[in-house]
Amino acid sequence: METRQETKRDMLDKGAVLQRDKKTYAIAPHIPGGIILDFNLLRKIVDTAEKYGAQALKLTSAQRIAIVGIEEEHVDQVWEELGMKKGHAIGLCVRSIKICPATHFCKRAQQDAVTLGLELDEKYHGKDLPSKFKMSVAGCANSCSEPAVRDLGIMGTPKGYTIMIGGNAGIKPRLANIFAENVPQEDVIPMVDKIVNYYKENAKSYERLGNMIERLGFDKIKQDLSD
């Protein structure tokens, strides 16, 4: 007979998170970019949630749509009808990349955060790392996607992008350190590659990037990455 712990692991593998009632589950389909949605996709999510008696749809802070209150026996059917990848809302990995509307829609934007954010999402979403890892891209200094409180934040400016590392919210908030400024868009992903790989090689298990910076020192990390 399957134990409760085995059931929990199996459901997590399916992208289903047990809810407060200890009976139903929530799933968060992956929607790259979050803020830009196809009308037909929205209809499919609503129709599927209604069909299987979900209790609610929730817009999450990470720009996902969570379908909340699904009975355990319906989880597989919901995923099959949606035909979407699961969003990595939990686990030791890169979560969905949070982006702002940027130059696609916003009159204040100074850089194309949407194109860059979607490229980052395609490359990193779900990547296994020592701890959870959150990224965001903002098109201007208004920072609507909150890059200063992400493990890796990217903020558009008139001269390029500012790259920030080590931020987080939570019970012990930490503002990110500015790693580089005026970075051209074509140089951002190679720089992110170096940062992510360095973190993967040097962080302890469950150690967020900001905690690793506190342990090793920002100057050392910046020098190592510069070398």
Q: What is the pTM of this model?
A: 0.90
d(CA 160, CA 139): 10
Q: What is the DSSP letter of 74?
A: G
What is the helix, strand, coil percentage profile of the chain, to 5?
40, 20, 40
pLDDT of residue 42: 92
pLDDT in 10s for each residue of the chain, 227 residues? 456 666 777 888 888 999 999 999 999 999 887 767 788 999 999 999 999 999 999 998 888 899 999 999 999 999 999 999 888 878 899 998 999 999 989 999 999 999 999 999 999 999 999 999 999 999 999 999 999 999 999 999 999 999 999 999 989 999 999 999 999 999 999 999 999 999 999 999 999 999 999 999 999 999 999 88
pLDDT of residue 1: 46
Q: What is the DSSP letter of 142?
A: T
Q: Residue 219 forms beta bridges with which residues?
A: none
pLDDT of residue 3: 64
d(CA 16, CA 86): 9
pLDDT of residue 156: 98
In the chain the domains, ranked by start, together with CATH numbers, are 4-82 (3.30.70.3340), 98-226 (3.30.413.10)
- DSSP secondary structure, 1-23, as one string: ---HHHHHHHHHHTTEEE-TTSS
Question: 88-92 long-range contacts, Cβ below 8 Å, gap at least 24?
Answer: 88/30, 88/125, 88/126, 89/15, 89/17, 89/28, 89/60, 89/62, 89/64, 90/12, 90/17, 90/132, 91/12, 91/132, 92/128, 92/129, 92/130, 92/131, 92/132, 92/205, 92/206
